[in-house]
Chain A
C-alpha cells in the first residue's frame, strides 16, 4: 500500500517532469505515451521497451500481430502460413471489398489473423496471432480458414498450438458464413486435441463474442493478460437488458479467473518464459520433424 503510494507519487513527479521537459525541449507528441487508464505519461521508447505495458499501472496495451510475434518467438524463426489469403464477399455485403482494400493498405495485413510456425526458446510450435487493427479481428472466412489450417498442420506434424486471441466476435459482413467459422475452428481444435497435442489459448484484449464461444475457450490451458476484456455478450447489450450500469471489472480477466474460466493471468513480460515452461512440461523439447 505504502509502496503503491510512493510509486504513484514518483510517477506523478516523473510525469510532471516529462510534461516540463516537453515544454522546454518541444518533444513531439509521438515520443510520449499517455496511459488511457491511469493517465500517466511515459517516454514512448520506455513504453515500447516494456512491450507496451504502462510502467505505472501495468496496463497492457493492444499489440499488432507483428509486435506480438517480435516479443514471443525466437528471432528469425517465424515461418508464416497462408500469407496471401483474402476474403471474398459471400453475402454481397455493400462496400465490403472496398473496406477491406482500404484496411489492407492501412494495416499491411491481409485479414485479422497471422498464423505460422516458430520456435519459443528453441521449441517448435504453431502460433496464431489475431490483430485487432483489422476490423476488430472479427472472424470471417479468412480468420476461420487460417486458424483451421494452422490446427490441421499442428495435428499432422505433432506440434502444439499457441493462440493469442483478440476479437470483437463474428464478422457480420460475411453473414452466416462467419457463424460457421465457429464450428469449423472448434472442429479443428477437437481433432488436434484427440491427437493428444497441446493447445494453449492466450486471451488478449478484447476476446469476445463468437471467438470466446469457439476456439478461444477450448484451450487445454487458458492464460489471460491482466485486466483484458473477456466475455461473450457485449457490455452495452447486457446493460440494456438489466437497465443498470455494470462494474468496471465485469468481464475482466480477473472476473473470468474468479469464475473459473481462465487458468492463470500472466504479465506480458513473463509470457514467453511461461509458455516455454508449459511446452517443456508437455515434452515438447526441441526440434520436431515436419512432414
Chain B
C-alpha cells in the first residue's frame, strides 16, 4: 500500500473520476431496491438506502451519495445529509433488525449539512439518535468509509461492529478547511491542516478507530473502480462471516467496547 501524505490523499479523493456509491452499489450488490423517505418529513437524496443481495444474502444498504456532476449534486446536496436523511437511515436500520438482515453502511460525506432548515428539523438530535440506536441494534453493522468521513455527519453511519476505510479515505472530527479556519483563521491553509490532523486510514488504524484498510487500485480508486469494488466486496464477505457467527449479545457487547475503549487519559493523585 502507498505511503502518501494526507493532503496527497485529499487530491485522490477529490479526483473528478472518484467512484461514488452510484458506481459501487451495482458492483457490490445484486438487485438493489431503493427505499425512500423517513416517514416523518421527506426523502433526503444525500442518503440512499435499500435492500439488496450480497452474494446471495439479503442485506440493508445505507449509503451517502456524492454527485458525479452538477445535476446529481443538486439532487444529493453535494453529499451533505439533512436530518431526514439520518432518520431514513435509522428507519431502514430498524427494519433490518426486524428482519435479521446485516446492515452495510457506505460513508462518504464532507459532513452533515449546516443550514437553517437542518437546524429547525434537529440535525443534532437526528445524529444523536442514530449513535444511540445503532449502538444497540440487534444485527451486524459494517461501515466502510469510501472517501470523506466528515465529523458527526459521518459518524451517524459509522457506529458499527467493524469500520473499514478505503486506502485513501480520510475520516476526521472536523473538515481540514474548518480546522484551518478555527486554528489559523484561514481556511485556505487546508492542506497544512490535513497533514497535521492524523486523518488517514493508517493514522486511524494506529489510533484504534479503523479496523481494516481496503486497498484501492494503484494510484487511486478512479484508476480501476471495478478492482476497488472487488476489494471492498471481499472485505465485506469476510467481515460478515466474522460477525454473523456471533451471538447477538456478544456482538452488541463487542460493539459497545469497540467505542468504549477509545480515549487517551491518565489518572494520578499527584497532578
Q: Which residues of A contact B (CB under 8 A)?
A: 82, 84-94, 104, 110, 141-142, 144-145, 148, 170, 172, 174-184, 186-187, 189-191, 193-194, 209-210, 212-218, 231-234, 237-238, 241-242, 246, 250-251, 259-261
Contact = CB atoms under 8 A, between A and B. Distances in A.
Contacts of B271: 84, 86, 104, 110
Contacts of A110: 271
Interface residues of B, number: 54
7 contacts: A85-B265, A87-B265, A177-B263, A231-B119, A233-B119, A238-B119, A259-B122
A233 B266 contact: no
A34 B171 CA distance: 44
Nearest to B135: A187
B215 interface: no
Nearest to B133: A190
B155 to A, nearest CB: 6
Interface in B129-158: 129, 131-133, 135-136, 151-152, 155-156, 158
For the complex of A and B, 7 pairs with smallest distance between CB atoms = A233-B114, A212-B124, A186-B131, A141-B263, A232-B124, A217-B128, A88-B264
Nearest to B83: A232
A141 B264 contact: yes
A141 B265 contact: yes
B151 A238 contact: no
Interface string B251-268: 000001001101111111
Contacts of B127: 213-214, 232
Contacts of A215: 128
A93 B207 CA distance: 14
Contact of A231 (B124, B159, B265): B124
Interface stretch (B15-23, B31-39, B197-205): B197-205
A144 to B, nearest CB: 6
B172 A84 contact: no
Given A186-B131, A217-B128, A172 B119 contact: no
B115 A144 contact: no
Contacts of B204: 176
Nearest to A104: B271
Contact of A84 (B128, B131, B267): B267
Contacts of B172: 175-176, 179
Contacts of B266: 85-86, 88
B120 A259 contact: yes
B123 interface: yes
B171 A176 contact: yes
Contact of A82 (B136, B179, B267): B267
Nearest to A101: B271
Given A88-B266, A172-B174, A176-B207, A190 B135 contact: yes
Contacts of B70: none
B133 to A, nearest CB: 8
B104 interface: no
A231 B116 CA distance: 10
Contacts of B262: 177, 180-181, 184
Nearest to A222: B125
Given A172-B182, A214-B128, A218-B129, A86 B265 contact: yes
Contacts of B171: 176
Nearest to A145: B263
Contacts of B179: 172
B209 A241 contact: no
B263 A189 contact: no
Contacts of A214: 127-128, 131, 152
Contacts of A237: 114, 178
B121 interface: yes
B265 A88 contact: yes
Given A170-B174, A217-B128, A175 B259 contact: no
Contacts of A180: 209, 259, 262-263
B124 A217 contact: yes
Nearest to A171: B173
Contacts of A179: 151-152, 155, 172-173
Given A170-B174, A176-B198, A232-B123, A238 B115 contact: yes
B259 A90 contact: no
Contacts of A176: 171-173, 198-199, 203-204, 207, 209
B197 A91 contact: yes
